[in-house]
Amino acid sequence: MDIGNGTAVCCLLDVLPNEPRQFYIDRSLYHHFEANSSDVKALLALKPDIAVLEPTGVNYSKIWSTVLIDHGIEVRLIGHNALATHRDHLGLPDKEDETDSFALAHYGLSNIDRPKKFLIIRDKVTQRVRELSLRLEHLNRVQNPIINRMRQDLSWQFPEISHQAIRRSGYTVPIFYRWLAGLRPWKRYDNLYEKTIGLGLTDTVRKHAKRLIDLQSEEIEIEQELTELMQHERFKPYLKVLIKFGFGKRQQAILISQIYPFENFLDEDNKPIVVFKPATKRSKNKYTKRYLSRRRFEKMLGVAPTESSSGKKQEKKVRFGSDLCRKTLWQWIFTRVETTKGRRNNDVLKDLYEWMHDPQRKGTPIRLLRLKTASKGVRMLFDHLVLELCT
């Protein structure tokens, strides 16, 4: 299934064709559907055993994958890069909906007995955790420009409070926003406002405050649901480790939505996959360890650089993984590793701080050092999860 905005192009395939380039031209293979009740019924009438999709975000593919799963149809996901490589391998022409749907079907049937060739498929609880985490991130992005605009206006309307830090505590919108919106009296600010040297509050600022109240009220509702979901028994061993690393509640939800279930990174015996390969530089007849499970874990969280070498030119660049997880790890470095000594309140954070400030890393550009520290932290996280979940 090649998913678009309210559309799906499906290619039915039950045998691997000998000549894919000729076979895919047959237009009778393809079925076009739109997101309405009659087309959904027509899709289910095809009675597929397995549906193979690309992960086209939370919005586009959600309705299709949910309908399929609810009707007992297995859903598998293929990464964008894997599909592009397979399409090139088949020698298919320009990218189009039918070409993609054929490549998806061909890839799925070619690897039907190799589940590791597909992406992690989240269950409903984990998927909901991810959706809520993304929603919170969106609400945070929406609030920032409103807060900045409001502060600029207050600098000439009510300058005495324009630089005041307003932080929400618990599940209550700050009283300051409610006072500013004219929804609640507050004597302290009433007295300050009477003596202000500013030009007076305008309706624009009050509207900004009302917007923030609405946004933070929605934020609180999401956080309450997220807190309830995270108390599920399945997440307890994960939370035990994440709390040890000093991750906050939002950060815990973001990371768990990416790494649960941890077994997806392991072999059939729930052990980390480690292979030995001949060393390619200098030391002949020796072998090097390749920690495949840990490497996949790092890539999932967006901190594993991919090597691109040609001749004498060697380049490493982070290309894959979750941008949101990468951002979460950077925030964690700032707030729990690089922070004051009092916040590094356990051995994990202390060890990571000492590793980051080891003399041999002196002179490393700060951005690169933070990335390396995040990568080191993820490797430590993987090892702790192995000890917690696999022993």
Tens-digit pLDDT profile for residues 162-204: 888 888 888 999 999 999 999 999 999 999 999 999 999 999 9
Please give the full DSSP string across 102-151, using - where no structure is assigned.
Answer: HHHHHHHHHTTT-GGGS-----HHHHHHHHHHHHHHHHHHHHHHHHHHHH
pLDDT value, residue 317 = 54
Average pLDDT over residues 85-102: 85
Q: What is the pLDDT of residue 210?
A: 96
Work out the pLDDT band at 107, boundaries 50, 70, 90: very high
**Which residue type does 228 have?**
E
For residues 150-157, average pLDDT: 95
CA distance 90 to 9: 19
369, 375 Cβ separation under 8 angstroms: no
Q: Is 307 helix (H, G, I), strand (E, B) or coil?
A: strand
Confidence at 308, pLDDT banded by 50, 70, 90: very low
Q: Which tokens go with 241?
A: 């480790």
Where are the domains positioned within the chain? Answer: 2-117, 125-230, 241-306+315-389
Residues 274, 267: Cα–Cα separation, whole Å: 10
Residue 158 DSSP SS3: coil
The yes or no reply on domain 125-230 and CATH 3.90.75 is no
pLDDT (tens digit, 9 = 90+) per residue, 321-352?
Answer: 678 899 999 999 998 898 777 677 788 999 99
Of the chain, the percentage scoring pLDDT greater than 90 comes to 54
Rounded to whole angstroms, how far apart are CA atoms 102 and 89?
A: 13
Mean model confidence pLDDT for the chain: 87
- Residue 305, pLDDT > 60, answer yes
What does the pLDDT look like over 31-86, one tens digit per residue? Answer: 999 999 999 999 999 999 999 998 765 678 888 988 998 888 988 988 888 888 89
Neighbours of 256 (CB within 10 A): 24
Looking at residue 320, its pLDDT comes to 61
Rounded Cα gap, residues 151 and 265, in angstroms: 46
Contact status, residue 17 vs residue 51, Cβ threshold 8 Å: no
Per-residue model confidence (pLDDT) at position 312: 45
> Which string of DSSP letters, residue by residue, matches 255-293?
HHHHH-SGGGGB-TTS-B-EEEEE--SS-TT-EEEEEHH
Residue among 227, 302, 267 nearest 386 (CA): 267
Q: What are phi and psi of 321, to 5 degrees?
A: 100, 180
Residue from 352, 362, 338 nearest 383 by CA = 352
* C-alpha distances in Å from residue 301, one per residue of 47, 212, 296: 36, 31, 9
Model confidence at 275, pLDDT cuts 50, 70, 90, reads confident
Distance in angstroms (rounded) separating the CA atoms of residues 344 and 245 = 10
- The percentage of the chain sitting over the pLDDT mark of 70, rounded to a whole number, equals 93
